[in-house]
A and B are shown apart, each in its own frame.
Chain A
Amino acid sequence: MMSTDRLIEQLAANLEPVEPLRAPGRRAAAFMLGATLYVALLTLAIARPGATSRGVDPAVLVPQLVALVASLLAVRAAFASVVPGHDRSALIWAAIGVVAWVGALAVSAFGSDASAEHEAVLGARHELWCVALILAGGAPLVVALAAMLRHGAPLRPITTATLGAVAIGSLANVAACFWTPHADRISAFFWHGGAIVALVLVCAAGAPFVLSWRAARRRAAGLARTSNGAV
């Protein structure tokens, strides 16, 4: 085994300047700007006739606005979770945001007369497209967010991935809610919710492989090699 003094010498000898990461709030804002633009373009690209008129319905609009806020808070918490020693208030705010978002969706789905004409939950065929939209439409955002998170320290990979997946799921859900009229909000609640849960589970399962110290060290060594010009 190498002595600790020798290790320190080696680390110092191979030291390269690094750009300190920006604050989690600023990184979250940058990600949300790009992600919101992407979701807006995706929604416009696939929107069906009559879908845009749903935007003026408060029962649809309010949960989506809450979803954007919840997404911002969750993604900020995800970025904070890869900074050692960062306080945990970001996590609490993210939890509050997610609870508010799920509450707003539940009120929209089960409140007032929304459930009066709902079909059987499993019979809503167009919801399969919504599931595909959340999973496939969210995939590029997952890749982009993972690339940004890998610049941090992989302290709690599963927590970080769960927060990121919730943020992306809530954003992709906005597109899923707007692209086509949904006659039955209860069906939409369960199908969309199921898709988001699936997204979270997949991301949490893959997190230990993507956000690991081994991957971070490999990446750091790769950057040092690039700046050294060595092969």
Chain B
Amino acid sequence: MAATDPPIDALGALMRAAQRGDAAAYTELLKSITPRIRRVVLRERAFAGLAEVDDLVQDVLLSVHTARATYDAERPFEPWVLAIVRNRLADGARRYARTAAREVNWDHEDDVTFGAAETNEETAEIGDARALRAAVRALPDGQREAIELLKLEELSLKDASAVSGTSVGALKVATHRALRALRRTLATKR
């Protein structure tokens, strides 16, 4: 444990407060445990890339959030969170092994071309970025959040649902409506 980390019992107290709905305590807790989780992930996955480490850390944080009701204030906090970290790392390793068994690496992307000229262009026309940003800002809260989570931050539906506290179905509907509204808005500006 680094010298700047808060003591373990303090983390247990923060989790108890979080269970009561204290968002500030929860933020402090998650920010305190994130470096520890990252250290464990880096130790266990020494060869993982930065994006994979971030993925695993975020997966652990989502699992901590999901399982927060299972924390017992009578028990120490560290074994509780470490059990979740170990479990998610093991699941991540299994997932990686399954994916690696199915995938074939292809290092010759430049050799692949398509018949239509526009499909071979490296960049696509993105239109007026400023107008798009303004149109996104003008969306209703629920639709804007759905677009930000799913399209800008590229979260999966599952993760976006956990983060926003909205059902997958509602997110899909909000995204559909948001895209329709954006299309309408941008079309009128052309």
**Chain A residues in contact with chain B, CB under 8 A?**
1-2, 4-21, 23, 82-86, 151-153, 155-156, 213-214, 216-218, 220-222, 224-225, 228, 230-231
Considering the chains assembled together, what is the distance between the CA atoms of A13 and B8 in angstroms?
24
Contact call B34/A8, Cβ cutoff below 8 A? yes
User: Which of A2, A153, A216 sits near B149, CB closer than 8 Å?
Assistant: A2
Interface check B19, CB cutoff 8 A: yes
Given A2-B154, A216-B67, list of 12 further CB < 8 A pairs?
A1-B51, A1-B58, A4-B61, A10-B149, A12-B30, A15-B23, A16-B21, A85-B75, A218-B158, A221-B168, A222-B167, A224-B165
In the complex where A18-B68, A84-B80 touch, is A218 in contact with B30 (Cβ < 8 A)?
Answer: no
Contact bitstring B9-38, A, C-beta under 8 A = 1, else 0: 000000000111111101100110010000
CB distance from A156 to the nearest CB of B (A): 8
Contact call B19/A4, Cβ cutoff below 8 A? no
Contact call B20/A17, Cβ cutoff below 8 A? yes
CB distance from B29 to the nearest CB of A (A): 9
Chain B, interface residues (CB within 8 Å), range: 35 or more
Query: Which listed segment binds A: B81-89, B106-114, B126-134, B176-184?
Result: B81-89
Mostly, the B contact residues are: helix
| Residues of A contacting B20 in the complex (Cβ-Cβ under 8 angstroms) | 17
User: Which of A1, A8, A20, A224 sits near B30, CB closer than 8 Å?
Assistant: A8
Contact call B70/A21, Cβ cutoff below 8 A? yes
Interface check B62, CB cutoff 8 A: yes
Contact call A225/B165, Cβ cutoff below 8 A? yes
Considering the chains assembled together, what is the distance between the CA atoms of A175 and B20 in angstroms?
43
| Residues of B contacting A228 in the complex (Cβ-Cβ under 8 angstroms) | 165
Query: Nearest A residue to B162 by beta-carbon distance?
Result: A217
Contact bitstring B147-159, A, C-beta under 8 A = 1, else 0: 0010001110011
Considering the chains assembled together, what is the distance between the CA atoms of A81 and B182 in angstroms?
48
4 closest residue pairs by CB, A with B? A85-B79, A17-B21, A224-B165, A84-B83
Considering the chains assembled together, what is the distance between the CA atoms of A18 and B70 in angstroms?
10
Considering the chains assembled together, what is the distance between the CA atoms of A9 and B31 in angstroms?
10
Contact call B19/A11, Cβ cutoff below 8 A? no
Considering the chains assembled together, what is the distance between the CA atoms of A144 and B119 in angstroms?
54
CB distance from A46 to the nearest CB of B (A): 38
Considering the chains assembled together, what is the distance between the CA atoms of A218 and B54 in angstroms?
22
Considering the chains assembled together, what is the distance between the CA atoms of A9 and B82 in angstroms?
22
Q: Could you list 14 examples of A-B contacts with CB < 8 Å?
A: A1-B55, A2-B149, A10-B164, A21-B72, A82-B70, A84-B71, A85-B76, A152-B67, A153-B66, A153-B67, A153-B70, A213-B88, A216-B67, A218-B161
Interface check B65, CB cutoff 8 A: yes
Contact call A230/B170, Cβ cutoff below 8 A? yes
